[in-house]
Amino acid sequence: MGYRSKVIFGVKEQHKQKFDTLINRVASIDGQNYKWWKDRVKIVSPKFEEDNWIVFEDDYLKWYSSFEEIKLINDTIEKWWDEEGDDMGAFRICLGEDGYKDECGEWYNVVEEVHDININLKNEQLVYVKEKSGCIFETEKELIDWLRGRGVEGTDEYIINEAVQIGEVRQIKISEAEVYNRVKGYFLTKK
């Protein structure tokens, strides 16, 4: 499945037009529709800032700098930070699933960094949860069969990654499934 990261990047709201242009360029490179990217963009009012900010946030991305769209985002944020500094406030922070952090700009007053620890159990089963219903797929084969039954085409890895990337399913530890479904208001159901 690959290494995943939580990613937040943004600028002060008065630079929204530049930010929207970046999102449009990224969406066209990625092949995703504009809506997928735009759904992860929001205006926020951080408690330690006077300005509103426009930010992108997703907590389960393959943030590989070898991907053309990710390179474009990284390079653009770094350029904005280098050239316009505090005026624009461009920042990026990525926190990998292993705790590795990559950052650019001054994100400290916009993003709260919180760390969590969990018991790492041997052979803990990972499952896929269908976002809109809470339906659980205990194996990749179950998920693949369900996706193919809906007419999704591509390699097994591609269709699973695509389903995760667009937010249709999320991979979680089986021990977290009950809490996840309770928080989301779902009933645990097996496919």
Per-residue burial over 150-170, b if 16 or more Cβ lie within 10 Å, else e, is eeeeeeeeebbeebbbeebbb
- Provide φ and ψ at 16, rounded to 5°: -55, -40
Identify the residue with better confidence: 182 or 63. Answer: 63
For residue 116, tell me if it sits in a domain. Answer: no
Taking 90 as the threshold, does the pLDDT of residue 13 lie above it?
yes
Taking 60 as the threshold, does the pLDDT of residue 182 lie above it?
no
Considering the domain architecture, whether residues 15 and 74 belong to the same structural domain is answered as yes
Considering the domain architecture, whether residues 95 and 136 belong to the same structural domain is answered as no
Considering the domain architecture, whether residues 57 and 146 belong to the same structural domain is answered as no
Q: Do the beta carbons of residue 8 and residue 178 sit within 8 Å? A: no
Considering the domain architecture, whether residues 131 and 99 belong to the same structural domain is answered as no
Please list the residues that pair with 80 across neighbouring strands. none
28-56 pLDDT, tens digit per residue, is 887 766 788 888 999 999 888 889 999 99
102-159 pLDDT, tens digit per residue, is 899 989 889 988 766 666 656 667 788 887 676 888 888 998 998 999 898 888 888 8
Record the pTM. Answer: 0.61
Handedness of CA 24, 59, 165, 168 (dihedral sign): negative
Q: How confident is the model at residue 189 (pLDDT cuts 50, 70, 90)?
A: very low
For residue 24, tell me if it sits in a domain. Answer: yes
Considering the domain architecture, whether residues 22 and 99 belong to the same structural domain is answered as yes
Provide the pLDDT for residue 117. Answer: 60
User: What's the mean pLDDT in 88-96?
Assistant: 91
For residue 113, tell me if it sits in a domain. Answer: no
Taking 90 as the threshold, does the pLDDT of residue 180 lie above it?
no
The total number of structural domains in the chain stands at 2
Q: How far apart are CA 27 and CA 64, in angstroms?
A: 16
- Write out the residue range of the structural domain in which residue 152 sits: 126-190
Q: How far apart are CA 46 and CA 48, in angstroms?
A: 6
Specify the pairing of strand 5-12 against strand 91-96. Answer: antiparallel
Q: What distance lies between CA 54 and its chain's CA centroid?
A: 16
Considering the domain architecture, whether residues 68 and 135 belong to the same structural domain is answered as no
Considering the domain architecture, whether residues 77 and 153 belong to the same structural domain is answered as no
Considering the domain architecture, whether residues 100 and 10 belong to the same structural domain is answered as yes
* Chain mean pLDDT for the chain: 82
For residue 165, tell me if it sits in a domain. Answer: yes
